[in-house]
């Protein structure tokens, strides 16, 4: 009986050891995963701190590309860079004067390109603007587009009304001439 008891104790110790080893192995796997996440985070942080800095064309401070937008002028990556704040201000400014906004084609254009050669204006895409401008600037841009659309519809309505008036005047004149001719031939 003692011999059976010793063997059972040895089996229990073995099973306890195996369970402990399993727990340690699981703990080791979790630590390895955490270590991998930390390494990945470190690598991403290192990349973001070594990101190329661009000088804002307005405030002249340096920012990573993720904190602003390059216009499309010139070679790739050689356009004018605007930080998010100055890009928002430029958007608000261009949307503030509806007639100028309409003349520019209802789009935000690079202020530096527009200042130099109006033919070389570089349009800043809405998708890119939406990622970089403030909510107020984006709302102003959408509102300016809607106002320009309303203005265009009003002008179309005015032109159509004017054309209707001219057609009516022409018809009236033709009827007058016909009535005079009828009167002349009847008398």
54-164, what's its fold? Herpes Virus-1 (3.30.40)
More confident residue, 173 or 17: 173
The dihedral sign for the CA sequence 42, 43, 48, 53: positive
Which DSSP letter does residue 105 get? T
C-alpha distances in angstroms, 86 versus 36, 43, 133?
A: 39, 30, 9
pLDDT exceeds cutoff 90 at 85:
yes
pLDDT in tens, 53-69: 889 988 999 888 888 88
Can you tell me which residue has the tokens 């401008």? 133
The dihedral sign for the CA sequence 154, 158, 159, 164: positive
Average pLDDT, stretch 32-44? 78
pLDDT in tens, 98-127: 888 888 778 888 878 765 554 555 667 666
Per-residue confidence (pLDDT) for residue 136, from 0 to 100? 92
Alpha helices by DSSP H, 50-75: none
pTM of the model: 0.54
């Amino acid at each position: 009986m003692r011999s059976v008891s010793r063997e059972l104790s040895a089996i229990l110790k073995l099973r306890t050891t195996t369970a402990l080893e399993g727990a340690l192995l699981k703990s080791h796997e979790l630590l390895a995963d955490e270590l991998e996440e930390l390494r990945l985070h470190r690598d991403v942080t290192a990349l973001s701190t070594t990101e190329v800095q661009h000088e804002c064309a307005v405030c002249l401070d340096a920012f990573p590309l993720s904190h602003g937008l390059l216009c499309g002028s010139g070679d790739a990556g050689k356009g004018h860079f605007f930080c998010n704040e100055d890009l928002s201000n430029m958007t608000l400014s261009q949307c503030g004067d509806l007639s100028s906004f309409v003349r520019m084609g209802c789009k935000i254009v690079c202020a530096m390109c527009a200042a130099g050669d109006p033919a070389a204006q570089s349009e800043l895409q809405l998708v890119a603007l939406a990622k970089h401008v403030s909510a107020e600037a984006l709302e102003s841009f959408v509102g300016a587009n809607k106002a320009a659309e309303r203005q265009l519809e009003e002008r179309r309505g005015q032109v159509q009304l004017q054309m209707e008036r001219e057609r009516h005047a022409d018809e009236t004149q033709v009827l007058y001439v016909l009535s005079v001719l009828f009167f002349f031939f009847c008398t």
